[in-house]
Amino acid sequence: MSYLVKCQSCGYDISSAEVLEAAKNTAEATTSCRECHSKSFEIVERPESQVTVHPDDPESDRDDDTISDTVEFGGYDFEGPYHNTDEIQLRQGVYVIVCLVDEQPHCVLDIGTSGQLEKRLSGHHDRQDCWRENVHGEIGYCVKYTGSDTDIHHREHAPPAARKSNDEETKERLVIEDELQWKYDVPCGTNHWKQKEEAIARYNAYERLFGPRGHEEL
């Protein structure tokens, strides 16, 4: 059985190896929630993974750096997860960074896309510090290579960057990234859906304080 540490005020998961070690014999953790700054936490059983793992064929050979053949995220099959980027190809596609607990994907840390996945993920990714801050196990890399035969679920709802692109293969990976960012609330990276939610919250707050936008005239 594995556990996580959650804020009692907002439910934010602040689990990390250090926090769990400090809190495993107590009812509360002595730290502040990064979301609401509360100091009240509880230790709860870790829920089942939000991702689906397709296990290896026990008769097949595999590289020790690969934990499973494929993992499903939001209806799309991704290769991996990999412990490192050695097996990732220099091709375009979508990547999902996961937290591995007991060698299995437990939660999603980041979602992104690149025209050169191996180069993007190997060694110098600008969000590696965020992955390390939020992981409570090991970091795993999952990739989906995109091309002309990629199955896109909702092409008609493509994000602005995809609608502006003249490259069909670029559009495909941008659409998949956009869909997965809608489905998963991840701690790392820029998610324009979260930005829209924050903008809506500000709009509603201003409307309550000052009335409808643009209602005054000279």
Specify the pLDDT at position 11: 56
Summarised one tens digit per residue, pLDDT across range 10-27 is 555 544 444 444 444 444
Summarised one tens digit per residue, pLDDT across range 155-169 is 455 455 544 455 677
What confidence category does residue 67 fall into, taking pLDDT thresholds of 50, 70 and 90? low
Q: Report d(CA 15, CA 30) in Å as an integer.
A: 12
Specify the pLDDT at position 125: 82
- Is the pTM of the predicted complex or chain greater than 0.95? no
Does the structure show a pLDDT above 60 at 209? yes
Residues in the chain: 218
- Whether the CB-CB separation of 48 and 104 falls below 8 Å is answered with no
Q: Report d(CA 27, CA 6) in Å as an integer.
A: 11
Q: Which CA distances in Å does 184 have to 22, 106, 180, 181? A: 29, 13, 6, 5
What confidence category does residue 46 fall into, taking pLDDT thresholds of 50, 70 and 90? very low
Does the structure show a pLDDT above 60 at 113? yes
Read off the tokens for 115: 């025209």
Q: Where are the domains of the chain?
A: 3-45, 52-192
Summarised one tens digit per residue, pLDDT across range 78-111 is 999 999 899 899 889 999 999 999 888 999 999 9
Summarised one tens digit per residue, pLDDT across range 123-144 is 768 899 999 999 999 999 999 9
Q: Report d(CA 40, CA 65) in Å as an integer.
A: 38
Look at 43-57, 107-121, 130-144 and tell me which has the smallest mean pLDDT: 43-57
What is the residue-wise DSSP string for 13-72?
B---HHHHHHHTTSSS-SS--TTT----EEEEEPPPPSSEEEPPPTTS---TTBS-SEEE
What confidence category does residue 171 fall into, taking pLDDT thresholds of 50, 70 and 90? confident
